[in-house]
Amino acid sequence: MSLSLILSCLWVIAASIVAMLPMRRQFAPGIALLLCAPFLLVYLGYQHNPWVVLAASIAILSMFRRPLFFMLKRLILRLKGQT
């Protein structure tokens, strides 16, 4: 098994542990996981084919759908000039 797949498995385990924390304690580790995800996807793409990256991207998006929708909504409102 390649290093990128091992790191991906560890990322999923860490995300599962963070999901079991109380909501008020999920923010900092969740942001850290979300910031690590693009680097992990690039590394996966470097070592494997695009289908693996697509599967990992779908998994990340499904795990972080609410925070990502919230950030997207805030970005759209900010671009429109509203606060």
pLDDT of residue 83: 58
pLDDT of residue 32: 93
pLDDT at 65: 87
Q: Looking at the predicted structure, is the pLDDT value of residue 29 above 90?
A: yes
pLDDT at residue number 68: 85
Q: What is the mean pLDDT of residues 12-25?
A: 92
Cβ contacts of 3-7, under 8 Å, gap ≥ 24: 3/47, 4/40, 4/43, 4/44, 4/46, 4/47, 4/48, 5/44, 5/47, 5/48, 7/40, 7/43
Query: 33-77: per-residue pLDDT in tens?
Result: 989 999 999 999 999 999 999 999 998 888 888 888 888 899 898
